[in-house]
Structure 1
Amino acid sequence: MHIYLILHDWGDEDSVKILKKCNEAVARKGGKVIVVDVALEDEGSHEDAPSRSRLAFDMDMLVTIGGKERTKEDWEKLVKLAGFKGCKIRRIGAIQSVIELTP
């Protein structure tokens, strides 16, 4: 199962609901959930252009639709609330990251 740029549109409560459904589907069929979405860096490490773009995405999500971009800690909390064991975040050559959720 693959989710691309969906969760940043939603607040934590709705994102947990979405991820719970994904977790249920994966539990029935086996496999993993792969999320391609923004993962913000820790505070103070926003010097490069991709980092600044991620922050701009965050402001856009907050102001326009009430969603948000998340830090590694935010992702870990969110996926655990949805019943996953954890997540692994991999940076790629894009603003987004690949986030692998472990059922």
Structure 2
Amino acid sequence: MMEDKTLVCRECGAEFAFTASEQQFYADKGFQNEPGRCPACRAARRQNNGGSRGERQMYEVICDGCGQPTQVPFQPRGDRPVYCRNCFDSQRQSRF
């Protein structure tokens, strides 16, 4: 049976409990390492990182539907039409 452990946060140096239930969760998920940061530092790190990847690169294009300039989150290849949000939604609605 697992017992609670006291760990030291590598970010702020505070001691924090690594509970038996957390240890079981880590084991069930196959995690090999114990947490290196306290819950507060983990939460702050997630918030600062946005919880995901960085800002998306946007590409300036002319909409093939209405001819207006717009931005899309992918680099057009030139072999398919590219639409602004309104034209894209209209195209999608007309298919269904």
* More helix per residue: 1
Q: Please say which structure displays the higher CA radius of gyration.
A: 2
* More strand per residue: 1
The TM-score normalised by the length of structure 1 is: 0.19
The TM-score normalised by the length of structure 2 is: 0.20
